Amino acid sequence: MHEIKTGFGDILKRQLELAERNYELLSDRGVRAINVMGAIGSGKTALILQLAERLQAKGIRVGAIAGDVAGDDDLKRFQAAGLPSAVINTGDDCHLDAHRVGHALKDFPLSAVDVLFIENVGNLVCPADFPLGTEQDLVVISVTEGDDMVRKHPKMFAQTDVVAINKIDLAEIIEVDPQRIVEDYRRVNPHGRAVLTDAKHGRGMEELLSVLGF
């Protein structure tokens, strides 16, 4: 991968151009990409695997790119599910960016997929500032993170129109009311859609797919 030699002020502008390029490449190849963001352990990988299974049952071919600081754990989960997949290890960076994704797309078998999930690095802060060139964004939060995730990260939720509130099977146990999270989300993003999910047992998946437009 080549270095981009620019001052800090130029980085976001350059990233926007690269995101635009990714978007064009993906639409030229007929691939619909979804940037899946959310905290560490919120259930991003589990949710992608659940959605992939259901999409494949509808005859839609699915691929996945795992974005992680290090390691290939999520890559192996995608591979075990038979998905064309790749990993982007970001090293020091706590987010994916359009430059890294562009390089990954160059090597990816795009002709083998209709939908490409790009799992971002786990955090709710800087991924909000780095568009990747995907058609859609999805944020996954879990009730186990507490009921204040939306209030603490208004930017991420204001700009993301689909949110999965995951691990609802654990809501009662940890005494978090998912409806509070839904209400917070409505406040920062009145036209967004929140879906309650349990990616471990596969609940809420059909509704989430429908909200995503499948």
Ligand X SMILES: Nc1nc2c(ncn2[C@@H]2O[C@H](COP(=O)(O)OP(=O)(O)O)[C@@H](O)[C@H]2O)c(=O)[nH]1
Residues at the interface with ligand X (CB under 6 A): 38, 40-46, 122, 166-167, 169-170, 198-200
Please pick, from the candidates 126, 170, 188, 209, the single residue that binds Zn ion as defined by CB under 5 A: 126
**Site size for Zn ion, by CB under 5 A?**
5
85: nearest Cα among 109, 111, 102: 109
The packing angle between helices 73-80 and 44-57, to 10°, is 20
95 binds Zn ion per the rule CB under 5 A = yes
Question: CB of residue 203 vs ligand X: minimum separation in angstroms?
Answer: 8
Question: CB of residue 19 vs ligand X: minimum separation in angstroms?
Answer: 23
Which H or E run includes 175? none
Quick one: what does residue 167 bind among ligand X, Mg ion, Zn ion, none, with the CB cut-off 5 to 8 Å set by partner type?
A: ligand X
45 binds Mg ion per the rule CB under 5 A = yes
- The count of other CB atoms within 10 Å of the CB of residue 58 is 8
Write the binding mask 62 to 101 for Mg ion: x where contact by CB under 5 A, - elsewhere.
------------x---------------------------
Question: CB of residue 127 vs Zn ion: minimum separation in angstroms?
Answer: 7
Q: How far apart are CA 190 and CA 161, in angstroms?
A: 9
Q: How far apart are CA 199 and CA 197, in angstroms?
A: 6
Q: Which segments of the chain does DSSP mark as H helices, in order?
A: 8-28, 44-57, 73-80, 98-107, 149-152, 154-158, 171-174, 178-188, 205-211
Cβ closest to ligand X, residue 15 vs residue 185: 185
Contacting positions for Zn ion (CB under 5 A) = 1-2, 94-95, 126
